Amino acid sequence: MRLIISFAALFASVLLLQISSGGVGPLDALTGLNAGFSPGDVGFLGSMHFVGFFLGCWWAPRLMGNVGHSRAYAVFTSMGVIGLAGHILIVDPIAWGLLRIGTGICVAGCYTVVESWLQAKVTNESRGRAMGLYRVVDMGGSLTAQLMIGALASLETYIAYNLLTILCCASLLPLALTRVPQPEIPSAPRLRPHLAWEMSPLAVAGVLVAALSGAAFRMVGPIYGQEVGLAASQIGLFLAAFVAGGAIAQYPAGWLADKFDRRWVLIWLSVASVVSCAVTVAASGTGTVGVMAAAAFFGFTTFPVFSVAASHAHDFATSDERIELSAALMFFYATGAIAAPWFTSRLIDTFGPSALFYFISLGHIALIVFGLSRMRVRETREDKTAYVYAPRTSFTIGRLLGRERDK
């Protein structure tokens, strides 16, 4: 209980931010489609979010160094508020894309501030419990955001976006009012993408495929849901089923990754992902329950790919390299996430909704082939690091996860 109270302000800010930011993507998709946006336009919005995310990850440590944690958080929150509030002033895909850059910067920047603050305050004794709570709050906020979509979609557009704007503003209050002293400013991790490739080309491929699966589904999934007959009020449940399936998968995936060769775990996850893509396409005509169950199965098979790939890369890293390696893997994830929503939305526009899962399947088939080929190049490490569920939040997440991997 003392731990919860100690970090209550940080966790409250994360929860409110996650609900606000997690709701804007599906709401943009549903509102944009009703306003006449094409699927390609909706995918463009998702890609612009990740452009902002990448910029925020790079900028946040530097801004904290100039103005401190609290002021940096206020700057990023204000960018998110501007991005959300601007939606009701003009309905245009290009304008909304620019606004989504602002919300993407907000998400990455705010998470960087919170994670830097957590890193400075946790001790070796409290780190495991603090990170467990952090993951629960983050995942709980994401699930809540998806479940809210049905209610938001039934409201007037300006009311829905105003509610998300209020939540984004409210995320500033707990952190701004906390009496806990600000920590010292951490140095920004060097961004060396080649480090990830040097450690494990297979891990880089796995991270890119994870970005393809996750970013495409979360940003373009509402288009697929509408195309297969889901009502606007059901889209949130559809996305929540994906997140819930991914959350449930973390324990068995972690157990397998710690017990067996992680390359085989990654390969079999991709095999299961191809199966789940086929099941999802086949379930499109089975009614609401079938579609929801297929989304949960898809999340169960695809969600752990990033964490397994990251754990495999860290098996070859030293303690001093972990922070920069985590940043490099996040760089590749952000790169894949920028491209995936726009490209898959264009495929849906041209070939229909099933094209989303056909393309994701191709990505996982390529990962299977590449994984098998890499197994012939070198042996894996026998002395593994501990499997860690790695949130895709900022380039600085490696600071929090480094000690967990060294256990």
Of residues 117, 161, 292, the one with CA closest to residue 221: 292
Tell me what percent of the residues of the chain surpass a pLDDT of 70. 91
Of residues 300, 112, 307, 297, the one with CA closest to residue 207: 307
* Mean pLDDT along residues 360-378: 92
* Mean pLDDT along residues 328-343: 91
Q: Label residues 387-405 b or e (16+ Cβ within 10 Å = b).
A: bbbbbbbbbbbbbbbbbbb
Angle, alpha carbons 395-398-399 (nearest 5°):
110
**pLDDT of amino acid 86:** 94
Tokens for 32, please give them.
């944009």
**Per-residue pLDDT reduced to its tens digit, 192-250:** 888 889 888 999 999 999 999 999 998 899 999 888 888 877 888 899 999 999 989 98
User: Which residue reads 């440590």 in tokens?
Assistant: 61
Amino acid at 55: L
Specify the DSSP class assigned to residue 124: T
Of residues 231, 307, 233, the one with CA closest to residue 266: 307
**Per-residue pLDDT reduced to its tens digit, 383-404:** 777 777 877 777 777 766 666 6
Answer yes or no: are the C-beta atoms of 16 and 171 closer than 8 Å.
Answer: yes
Residue 198, SS3?
A: helix
**pLDDT of amino acid 131:** 76
Amino acid at 293: A
Tokens for 108, please give them.
């990455």
Answer yes or no: are the C-beta atoms of 355 and 347 closer than 8 Å.
Answer: yes
**pLDDT of amino acid 189:** 64
Residues 6 or more apart whose Cβ sits within 8 Å of residue 72: 60, 63, 64, 109, 113
Tokens for 261, please give them.
């060769």
**pLDDT of amino acid 403:** 61
**Per-residue pLDDT reduced to its tens digit, 171-198:** 988 887 777 666 666 666 677 888 889 8
Of residues 128, 162, 163, the one with CA closest to residue 144: 163
Answer yes or no: are the C-beta atoms of 28 and 37 closer than 8 Å.
Answer: no
Answer yes or no: are the C-beta atoms of 342 and 220 closer than 8 Å.
Answer: no
pLDDT band at residue 75 under the 50/70/90 scheme: very high
Residues present in the chain in total: 407
**pLDDT of amino acid 113:** 86
**pLDDT of amino acid 242:** 92
What is the average pLDDT score of the chain? 86
**Per-residue pLDDT reduced to its tens digit, 263-284:** 999 999 999 999 999 999 999 8
Of residues 386, 319, 342, the one with CA closest to residue 45: 342
* Mean pLDDT along residues 143-166: 86
**pLDDT of amino acid 342:** 93
Compute how many other C-beta atoms are within 10 angstroms of the C-beta atom of residue 352.
Answer: 12
Cα–Cα distance measured from residue 341 to residue 173, given in angstroms and rounded to the nearest whole number:
33
